[in-house]
Amino acid sequence: QRYNVAVVGATGAVGAKMLETLDKKNFPINELYLLSSKRSAGKELEFQGKTYTVQETTPESFEGIDIALFSAGGSVSKKFAPEAVKRGAVVVDNTSAYRMDPEVPLVVPEVNEADIKTHNGIIANPNCSTIQMVAALKPIQDQFGMSRVIVSTYQAVSGAGNEALDELRTQSKAFLEGENLEAELLPVSGEKHHYPIAFNALPQIDVFQENGYTFEEMKMINETKKIMHDDKVHVAATCVRLPFFTSHAESVYVEVNKEGVTADQFKSAISNAEGIVLEDDPENQVYPTPLSSAGKCDVFVGRIRKDLDNEKGFHLWVVSDNLLKGAAWNSVQIAESLIKNNWLQK
Ligand code: A2P
């Protein structure tokens, strides 16, 4: 059986990776619809040797669609996801619009695939930084229990979209030519102040909340508890944007419940987990980096060490392509699971 698929935000940074992933994984597509805003309507995109014309997203775009992959911003999902569901489509939404809605499953298939089954037409794809962290922590939670997580992120610019990538290119060139850097977009479009990302590090991703954390940090905190089905685990996050194009890296500290766990046991739990690749050999300088993981679907983990003062504490370094496992691949995996398990019907 083959399915009618719509990609909303097909002209965006994640949209391009959605198409690449649908192709690479040989997704069973019957008809494909590429949707955007009015701006890109009429633009032509190639998919599997065929040319498709991008269309403006309207409620009627979803007539006859089985699966709609959304990645065009939260307001677009809020407006059009219910229209798609009304017309019988199942939506996999890559924005933050529905993630914390108790009616909407928030899924990383390696962690909580069974939650997909409870959907009412919308399944949310978590935040990119959250996905790779919970994928790495799942085997630790299963085998040793987990009481606390403290994470600092080193996030790529592609997470902020194509325009942000252009800003990094322009500023990098200006910096090397000794010119003034103009910042118009990052850290957050629409904010009062903008700072250069080139040759810099910005400790703000998304807008500040009243509690002093940014929305990106709160996404990591709240989504981790929801996906891992653990309200009690303590989570703290500091999210930082750095001037590279692809893949997020994270320094993660985790406290386990079980006593006497060794670094070797911790490593073997990680290396046996689905979707995780252990790259950890300090003697030979083996560890993952943003460049080494870019373009790959897995989550890479290295630098596993036991804390020197806390017997139950461990440190690890988690790297993954933010546009693939962090967005497009996780969404396509959810769509594959809907088909494989016969969960498309509500
Ligand atoms: P468009 O090309 O028409 O602007 P990125 O994350 O790289 O910035 O991409 C955002 C994606 O979301 C693009 O495909 C963009 O289309 C799409 N988009 C933005 N606003 C809307 C809208 N109002 N309706 C549908 N798609 C939108």
Q: Please state the atom number of ligand 1 nearest to the C-alpha of residue 43.
A: 2
Looking from the CA of residue 162, the nearest atom of ligand 1 is 7
142 and 101 housed in the same domain = no
Same domain, 89 and 36: yes
For 191, other C-beta atoms within 10 Å of its C-beta total 14
At 346 the pLDDT is: 72
Number of structural domains (the chain) is: 2
Q: How remote is the CA of residue 32 from the centroid of ligand 1, in Å? A: 17
Q: Give the pLDDT confidence of 170-195 residue by residue, as tens digits.
A: 999 999 999 999 999 999 999 999 99
Distance CA 213, CA 19 (A): 34
Count of H-run helices and E-run strands, the chain = 9, 14
Who contacts 328 (Cβ-Cβ below 8 Å, separation ≥6)?
A: 14, 17, 18, 20, 21, 71, 94
ipTM score: 0.98
Q: What is the CATH number of the domain that holds 42?
A: 3.40.50.720
Looking at the fold, whether 68 and 150 belong to one and the same domain comes out as no
Is 345 inside any structural domain? no
Q: For residues 56 and 162, state if they share a domain.
A: no
15 lines ligand 1 (CB under 6 A): yes
12 lines ligand 1 (CB under 6 A): yes
Same domain, 108 and 227: no
Ligand 1 close to Cβ of residue 9 (< 6 A): yes
The string of pLDDT tens digits covering residues 79-138 is 999 999 999 999 999 999 999 999 999 999 999 999 999 999 999 999 999 999 999 999
Task: Say if residue 291 is in the same domain as residue 169.
Answer: yes
Q: What is the CATH number of the domain that holds 157?
A: 3.30.360.10
Same domain, 191 and 265: yes
User: Does residue 38 share a domain with residue 149?
Assistant: no
> Does ligand 1 come within 6 angstroms of the Cβ of 39?
yes
Q: How do residues 20-30 score in pLDDT, each as one tens digit?
A: 999 999 999 99
Residues 268, 330, 1, 52, Cα dihedral to 10°:
-140
User: How many CB atoms are closer than 10 A to CB 47?
Assistant: 16
Strands 55-56 and 29-36: parallel
Average pLDDT, integer, range 140-144: 98
Instruction: For residue 136, give its domain range.
Output: 130-322
> How many angstroms is it from 274 CA to the middle of ligand 1?
33
Residue 48: what residue type?
Q
Coil, strand or helix: which one is 212?
coil
Chain centre distance of CA 332: 12
82 and 163 part of one domain: no
Residue 248: active-site member: yes
